[in-house]
Amino acid sequence: MPVEVFPDDEVNAVIAAATGGKLEALFLVAVASGAREGELLALELGDVETGESAVHVRRTLDYEPKVGFLVHPPKSENGVRVIDLPPLAAGPLARHCKGRGPGPLFT
């Protein structure tokens, strides 16, 4: 199955809408990394490399009816990975990480 890539105008629209907003870091890391929604929402401060230039994907957040939200390891070994981030996302992520304690990064 081929990977779907968003056109530049759509990416630029997301960047413009997110810049300066409460969820800026989440959206810019999403756009820059291509990580899945559950992978982004399962990130914790310990998954962010020093300098905030990379994130380690180690788990995913899933919703199971009658149970609720659960954190699981990725479905395959290839799902565990390090994603390098460009400055576009690294700067906002660094600001977002300052003063955060343990637990989900984007709550």
What is the block-wise mean pLDDT of the chain (107 residues), using blocks of 10 residues?
84 94 95 94 93 92 95 91 95 92 89
Predicted pLDDT at 44: 96
pTM: 0.89
What is each CA distance from 106 to 8, 9, 92, 102, in whole angstroms? Answer: 25, 26, 12, 11
3-state helix, strand, coil in the chain (%, to 5): 40, 20, 40
Predicted pLDDT at 102: 87
What is the H or E stretch that residue 82 is in? strand 81-84
User: What is the number of residues in the chain?
Assistant: 107
Cβ neighbors of 63 (< 8 A, separation 6 or more) are 69, 70
